[in-house]
Amino acid sequence: MNDKEIKKGIIYVGANDAERRIFDELIELPDGTTYNSYLVSGSEKTALIDSVDPSKKDILLSNLKAAGIKSIDYVVSQHGEQDHSGSIPDVLAAYPMAKVVTNSKCRGELADLLMIKEDKFITIEDGGEISLGDKTLKFFFTPWAHWPETFVTYIPEDRMLFTCDFLGSHYATENLYAQSNDEILIPAKRYYAEIMSPFRSMIRKNLEKIKVLDVDIVAPSHGPLHKGMDFITGYYSQWASDDVKNEVTIAYISMHGSTGKITRYFIESLEKKGMKVHAFNLADADIGDIAMALLDSATAIIGSPMVLAGPHPKAIFIAYLLKALRPKTRFLSVIGSYGWGGKLVEQLAEMLGSLGAEIIEPVLVKGYPKEADFKMLDELAEKIRAKHQELGLS
């Protein structure tokens, strides 16, 4: 197991889940994932930082056994979601003297979700610490990365920062570290886009909070560890900023070809005007790819035909997703087609209203697009170009 030694007295005891292809029954996992758990042995006490998904609890317990761990004093639970907390009851059963160290919010979640008894908890405060002897666990609350209770743990003696979901990636690997920054950039971006982007103002505050720490190794609870903090926090700062690019994300669906033709024409028109377009056919799009494109796009467009007097259900899904991801997109619009009428635009506009983006007059086409419709699409593309230009984008 010592090939998994990170620093003297700190070993990786987590589990790889390379075969997993979906998370939350929603997010696709093209690269699988890992559930990282770390055992920290000080001169006097031992702590486990996060556990693993319940499906991999046997691996965690067997890693602890293989490492010769006879007792655990503390199980630090940095986040209540079950992919990190779900095996804590099994760890407590195997190591009955262990106490769960967490904040009051997470304590409530663990009591509700896992029925962990009240007397098993030690509750920490922001900035609090616990000594393991020659190592200290210092806790810093980093809320909304991505639940309200999330916090990070810092060991100053080893300059290690444990961040749970924050700064992580769904990327299965047997290696502790990625072979290069390039290997992990897209998985980390996808992870940020899907999980963290709705909370970017909190992410910015959390980045400020941790940047004062002297960090040699960042140890998230998904994906490889990072040597130093600059690479990953640099990208997080960029993704969480208000900056947008001269880019348009279009998510569309077409049933009989009209909206498909409209979308293809519109993409060409936008590109001719110098904008980069990320187009996704909702028939088979990966929402992680859409979430990543939205990180940079100044404008988002939904393309939909009318179905039963309203948007296609897949267009409703993407509008809901936009609402959930709360991208920094400044402008929104709708393109699509209809046969005899309905409230496609009204329904989507109502869903998207809370995003605070400006809705540019949509283009809805009756039947298959004709010359006058292409002209309206060109006009919409021109309006978007002008709006981008006003923002100084080119």
Residues in the site for ligand FEO, rule: CB under 6 A? 79, 81, 83-84, 146, 165, 222
Alpha-carbon gap, residue 219 to 216, rounded angstroms: 10
Q: Residue 15 or residue 334: which is nearer to ligand FEO going by CB?
A: 15
The pair of three-digit structure tokens given for residue 267, joined into one six-digit string: 């993409």
- Which residue, 36 or 333, is less far from ligand FEO as judged by CB? 36
How many C-beta neighbours within 10 Å does residue 366 have? 14
What are the C-alpha distances in Å from 116 to residues 52, 73, 112? Answer: 16, 16, 8
Residues 6+ apart with CB under 8 A from 189: 235, 239, 292, 295
Q: Are 10 and 42 in contact (CB under 8 A)?
A: no
Q: Between residues 197 and 246, which has the closer beta carbon with respect to ligand FEO?
A: 197
Q: Are 304 and 336 in contact (CB under 8 A)?
A: yes
In this chain, which residue has its C-beta nearest to ligand FEO? 81
CB of 225 to ligand FEO, least distance (A): 15
- 43 exposure class (CB count in 10 Å sphere: 0-12, 13-18, 19+): exposed
Q: Which residue has the tokens 């590109």?
A: 271
Which residue lies nearer to ligand FEO by CB, 56 or 135?
A: 56
Closest by CA position to 176, among listed 214, 216, 221, 223:
223
Q: Closer to ligand FEO at the Cβ: 12 or 252?
A: 12
Nearest-approach distance from CB 113 to ligand FEO, in angstroms: 12
Taking the least distance from each CB to ligand FEO, the nearer of 146 and 385 is 146
How far lies 222's CA from each of 57, 166, 176, 366, in Å?
Answer: 15, 9, 11, 48
What are the structure tokens assigned to 6, written together? 């990170």
How large is the greatest C-alpha to C-alpha distance in the chain, in angstroms? 79
| Beta carbon nearer to ligand FEO, 60 or 270 | 60
The residue length of the chain stands at 394
Residue among 17 and 81 whose Cβ is closer to ligand FEO: 81
Residue 82 CB, nearest approach to ligand FEO (Å): 8
SS3 of 141, please? strand
CB of 146 to ligand FEO, least distance (A): 6
Nearer to ligand FEO, 57 or 135 (CB): 57
Provide, rounded to whole angstroms, the least separation between the CB of residue 203 and ligand FEO.
14
Four-point Cα dihedral 282, 284, 287, 291, nearest 10 = -60
At 343, is the secondary structure helix, strand, or coil?
coil
| Distance of closest approach, residue 37 Cβ to ligand FEO, in angstroms | 12
Q: Are 242 and 315 in contact (CB under 8 A)?
A: no
CB 25 → ligand FEO: shortest distance, Å?
Answer: 14
Q: Measured from the CB of residue 340, what is the shortest distance to ligand FEO in angstroms? A: 45
CB of 151 to ligand FEO, least distance (A): 13
Amino acid at 108: G
Tokens of 117: 């008894």
